[in-house]
Each structure stands twice: as C-alpha cells, then as structure tokens.
Amino acid sequence: MSRKPGIKIVSGNSNRPLAEAIGAYLQTPLTKASVRRFADMEIFVEIQENVRGEDVYIVQSTSFPTNDHLMELLIICDALRRSSAKRISAVIPYFGYARQDRRSGSRTPISAKLVANLITQAGADRVMTLDLHAGQIQGFFDIPTDNLFAAPLLAKDIKDNRDIADVMVVSPDVGGVVRARALAKRIDAQLAIVDKRRERPGESEVMNVIGDVEGKSCILVDDIVDSGGTLVNAAEALLARGAKDVSAYITHGVLSGGAVARITASKLKELVITDSILPTEAVRVARNIRTLSVASLIGEAIARTATEESVSSLFD
C-alpha cells in the first residue's frame, strides 16, 4: 500500500496501538499531536503539524472511560477545524452509547443521537465506525457515515482454524439473528438461535435452543461482549443440548467488571474479539481469549474514502 497523498491520521488516547497499525498499513506515520490533561483533568489538544487543506482521519474509540474518550474526540475535531483541515473524518472503531439508540422507558434519553449531534457540531465531516450495535444509528448523523463490518475478518479466521463441516453459527439471542445469519452465509454453515425467556418474575432465565446442535462445534456471534453473562449461559445451554464445543466471535470486547474472569472460568473453548477496543492486560493473558486486528480493514476503508472509491465493495 503506497502512501496516500494528503492523508493525515491523528490518534486520541483510547487506542493508539490500533491507530499506529492503521498508519503502518497506509504507510503513513501518525500526525504529531499532543492530547493531554491539565491538573484539574481538563483535556488539552495541540496539533503539532500543519494540517491546512488536508484530509484528516481521527482514530478514537469511545470506550472506557467513555466520556473522557468522547471529549478527546470532540476537542480534536475542534482543533482540526480551527486549523483549517479540508475534511475531518471521525474513525470510531467502537461507538460508545450505541446501546442507547431508543427510549427504553418514559422520560429517558436517546443518547446515541445526542452523541451523533455532538460529533457533527464539533466539526466532523464524515464518520466511519465498525459493527454498530444498531444499524439505524447511521441515520442519527446528518453527515456521511460508513458502518464497516468485521464479518469478512471473522469468517476468514473461522475458515483458517476450524473444520467448516462441523461448524454451526449461533445467535445468543433473537435480536442478533441478522448478524449471525450474515456470518453463517459467508462460511456456508447452519444457524441456530438461543432464545432467552423468563417464565415468571423472580425466576432465572430459561435458555431454549432453536436448532439441532448435537455434535456440532458451535460459534456464538454478537457485536458486543460486556459482562459475559449471556455468552457463558448460552454456552452451557448449547453444551447441555449435545454441542461438541462452543466458541464465540464478538467484534467489541467491552469486558467490564469481572467479565474476563467469568469467561476464563467458563466452558467456552475460545472467545475471539477484535482490537476495536484496546485489550487490557487481563485480556491479553487470558487463556481462552484471542484478539484479531481490524487495522487492515479500517486502513483499506480509509484508503478508499481518500481516493473516492467504493467502501461497500469491501464486503461483497
């Protein structure tokens, strides 16, 4: 990949290793910038290179601590806008607040829409993200928004490491069926669904498995793993129905609280996540958690955006 003229890549503090890997793919060193804190924890940004008239891409996941990383993104956008950058693209591998995409009850916010407004008002001209929790969030932005998919990357890893004849793709809940079906189609595998339901208030959830998983290597597919409880319970339900083994392929490894310990102690053979969120030390040393890099996928999407080529054709 030759260096794309006019491209500048700026990294916040949320996932600098991923930004560096994207830069390496594009053979473009990161633009020198300082993103630091004052004594009272206010964020200060200084772009230390000329960006006037440039096509600039900010790589910043809004992962934990979500609000700090979101503010970094907004302030970097403002700094670039005031530095006369020609076009500012916010590359957000993990879009925080995406699970608040609708009103969950009376007098509750739609925080994903608020965040979209903030990013737009800060000066972003376009947004690029990966496996949005809800596709309709693209419509919350009034600027061009590309939602990339990790499915090609996950499918390749499954084909390289497993006997496809024994594989069955499983959605851990009814809401994730579309995502699981898309991956199953890529690897020509069958699909099963874990249907969770609580028969009566106060009783534990009952896991109903829809599909014959006996003797199959089951692969749970989802966009986010947070506490890990759903995955662990789904794995136990599948094994109880005769599955040979259970692994999981999840795009965003939020893994909050005691999730890593829960996954490590579970019957999951393997959890495969991407580096859309910077892996913690606990994730890196966990015996059954593995990380795939999305740097080449995002790098190629940036290259195509910069040269006005099709991004959607990446997923055909």
> Average pLDDT per run of 10 along the chain, which is 316 residues long?
69 98 97 97 97 97 97 98 98 97 94 98 98 94 97 96 92 91 95 80 70 96 94 94 97 96 96 98 96 98 95 89
Residues 16 and 145 in one domain: yes
Residue labelled with tokens 């599909």: 211
Q: Tell whether residue 226 is among the known ligand binding residues.
A: yes
Dist CA 116 CA 98 (whole Å): 10
pTM of the model: 0.93
How buried is 155 (Cβ within 10 angstroms: 0-12 exposed, 13-18 middle, 19+ buried)? Answer: buried
Residue 107's contacts (CB-CB under 8 Å, 6 or more residues apart) are none
Residues 92 and 191 in one domain: no
Angle at 77 between CA 75 and CA 79, to 5 degrees: 70
Is residue 239 included in any domain, yes or no?
Answer: yes
State residue 175's pLDDT score: 85
Q: Tell whether residue 99 is among the known ligand binding residues.
A: yes
Is residue 11 included in any domain, yes or no?
Answer: yes
Is residue 182 included in any domain, yes or no?
Answer: yes
State residue 63's pLDDT score: 97
State residue 199's pLDDT score: 61
State residue 200's pLDDT score: 60
Is residue 42 included in any domain, yes or no?
Answer: yes
Residues 60 and 160 in one domain: no
Q: Tell whether residue 2 is among the known ligand binding residues.
A: no
Residue 104's domain is classified under what CATH number? 3.40.50.2020
Residues 260 and 189 in one domain: yes
Residues 144 and 182 in one domain: no
Is residue 1 included in any domain, yes or no?
Answer: no
Residues 29 and 143 in one domain: yes
State residue 2's pLDDT score: 47
Residues 195 and 106 in one domain: no
Residues 257 and 243 in one domain: yes
Catalytic-residue membership of 196 = yes
Rg of the chain over CA atoms, in angstroms? 20
Query: Whose CA is closest to 232, among 210, 205, 202, 212?
Result: 205
State residue 220's pLDDT score: 97
Residues 310 and 288 in one domain: no
Residue 243 corresponds to which tokens in the numbers above?
């599955």
The whole domain housing 202 covers 151-292
Query: Whose CA is closest to 64, among 274, 254, 309?
Result: 254
Residues 11 and 143 in one domain: yes
State residue 6's pLDDT score: 65
Number of domains in the chain: 2
State residue 201's pLDDT score: 58
Q: Which of the residues 4, 159, 196, 269 is marked catalytic?
A: 196
Is residue 2 included in any domain, yes or no?
Answer: no
Q: Tell whether residue 121 is among the known ligand binding residues.
A: no
DSSP assignment of 188-252: T-EEEEEEEE-SSTTSPPEEEEES--TT-EEEEEEEEESSSHHHHHHHHHHHHTT-SEEEEEEEE
Is residue 244 included in any domain, yes or no?
Answer: yes
Name the β-bridge partners of 224: 252
Q: Tell whether residue 230 is among the known ligand binding residues.
A: yes
Residues 137 and 217 in one domain: no
With H, G, I as helix, E, B as strand and everything else as coil, classify residue 3.
coil
Q: Tell whether residue 173 is among the known ligand binding residues.
A: yes
Residue 94 near residue 59 (C-beta atoms within 8 A): no
